[in-house]
Chain A
């Protein structure tokens, strides 16, 4: 089934029910359906054809939810983009996937203007609020007045539905492609093991620009449940209040949110009395934190999960296993397979570390216009020929077959549950005058999981840590910005003369310019 059918079906069953609570508005299924029909019509009127890409560049807002479904109703491909990306990254994405339209929040117009200043073809822009940076942009509200028109013909669940860009260790993001059928398989599997029903009320603070956050919307709509949408966990007490006020039953988390809750001075578990379940994904949750949060909220079912953009979700731990194996991320999600293999692709015995490979209907189609990277990620099982996704993550199993994350194969850092490619940060550092050499590493952090740290050799004795961080903040998404910068006289290299991240992380601070 195509994903926009979720909205049609749920609207048909109970159009008056609250689909979305966001930005002070309560919106019914009928309203979301109607608005997305009209926006879809406007998109088609503006020349969006079947298979065209439409970029949605917004925070978690009702406009984003309506846009997501409108894109699919128009037969187009959704490219959700994190609102904190800066112009350079946005420009890359636009040049790479060549969208016909960009739908953005008004306040992000400056970034869009800067990003499209040098692109060959400039997409049409629809803004949720007018902005001087893009005087020619179309108005979102006006686009909601579009007269609904018939959907394009020949649309199928095998059509490309989405391209989600994910950071890679080469430093350039890759566009993960999913068909509607892949997304449908993932969503169906997830609501199955979470035992979601139409009575669930999910409170989501996770960005819908990433799979984990986006699927909260898709699953909620699929079920005919209610989604309470918030933009961030910046004010934890306010979010706990929302959970209480809305009687939320589900609360998806990343480890840094758990750390923040555990740091609260007067955390009141009674605020979360309505919760039926919480989930963790995006990064490993420290076992101690898991134990503490479970102790505070014994009535809440906790699901430890693991996934990656390339297949949305890969594993889940049945909550009854939490006492026995708290460090495990469980078993393959229903309807899929997961195995730990060696370099040849053969399964390794229990207890032995290898790479996790995954197969099933939820796998990506591949990376957008990147056949080499696709071939490296999607490889046939040497024994059966079946295509498996190589996750790039090292895992082991225990004697009963439960999976444990060990480490990443590459040097990707996970900060706040978000992927940070050291090469991407290093590339930005090298654009700052005065930086001669730079290495970016992850260091343990009690809240972030890993904090991004830059080790630099500078030719400018007046360059300060603050200036370096400021430069990064101007050019990178917030979670990629180094939390600290260390100035060194030199950085270690391998025998072949290449800068070595591994050695740099191991060697203690050396005397450098006194900053």
Chain B
């Protein structure tokens, strides 16, 4: 199940921030912000997607790099939210 979560998150990022370019290397641990993959308005889009797709309620204080700055971090964050 978590593999599906990871795949869905990865697909969203590739579609919306790499504009479908899956030839670019995108390891799970790669910092999205540091590598200019996601910018300030992009984070809001990502949060919107996570809320809608995974039916989560995300607080402002959740919107921090520790939770969102790599595919791996997002997967962990989503799982934590789902467990609660």
Which residues does A use to contact B, with CB under 8 Å?
83-84, 107, 231-238, 256, 260, 263-267, 416, 447-448, 464, 466-467, 469-470, 473, 478
Contact = CB atoms under 8 A, between A and B. Distances in A.
Given A84-B36, A478-B36, A469 B63 contact: no
Contacts of A234: 33, 38-40, 42-43
Given A260-B44, A448-B41, A466-B15, A236 B20 contact: no
A425 B77 CA distance: 37
Contacts of A107: 34-35
Contact of A233 (B18, B40, B68): B40
A478 B33 CA distance: 12
Interface residues of B, number: 24
Given A235-B65, A238-B64, A469 B19 contact: yes
Contacts of B60: 236-237, 264-267
B44 A470 contact: no
A390 B42 CA distance: 36
Nearest to A478: B39
Contacts of B36: 83-84, 478
B40 to A, nearest CB: 4
Contacts of B64: 235, 237-238
A231 B34 CA distance: 10
Contacts of B40: 232-234, 256, 260, 416
A470 B21 contact: yes
Contact of B20 (A83, A263, A466): A466
B38 A266 contact: no
Contacts of B68: 235
Contact of B19 (A232, A267, A467): A467
Interface of B: 15, 18-21, 33-36, 38-44, 59-65, 68
Contact of B41 (A237, A238, A447): A447
B63 A237 contact: yes
A57 to B, nearest CB: 13
A447 B65 CA distance: 21
Nearest to B65: A235
A311 B61 CA distance: 39
A265 B60 CA distance: 6
Contacts of A236: 60, 63
A266 B15 contact: no
B41 A467 contact: no
Nearest to A233: B40
Nearest to B17: A473
Contacts of B38: 234
A266 B44 CA distance: 14
A335 to B, nearest CB: 34
A448 B45 CA distance: 13
B39 A235 contact: no
Contacts of B15: 466
Residue picked from A235, A236, A416, A464, most chain B C-beta under 10 Å: A235
A234 B36 CA distance: 11
B43 to A, nearest CB: 5
21 contacts: A83-B36, A107-B34, A232-B39, A232-B40, A234-B38, A235-B65, A235-B68, A236-B63, A237-B60, A237-B61, A237-B63, A237-B64, A256-B41, A260-B44, A266-B59, A267-B60, A416-B40, A416-B41, A466-B15, A467-B20, A470-B18
A264 B36 CA distance: 23
Nearest to B62: A237
Contacts of A416: 40-41
A512 B18 CA distance: 26
A267 B63 CA distance: 12
A466 B17 CA distance: 10
Contacts of B18: 470
In this complex, which of B41, B42, B62, B68 has the most chain A Cβ atoms within 10 angstroms of its Cβ? Answer: B41
Given A464-B20, A470-B20, 8 more contacts: A231-B33, A232-B40, A234-B33, A235-B43, A235-B68, A265-B59, A416-B41, A469-B19
Contacts of A265: 59-60
A83 B34 CA distance: 11
Contacts of A231: 33
A464 B40 CA distance: 25
Contacts of B65: 235, 238
Contacts of A237: 60-64
Nearest to A231: B33
Contacts of A266: 59-61
A447 B43 CA distance: 13
B65 to A, nearest CB: 6
Contacts of B41: 256, 416, 447-448
Contacts of A84: 36
Contacts of B62: 237
A467 B35 CA distance: 20
B19 A473 contact: yes
A448 B40 CA distance: 11
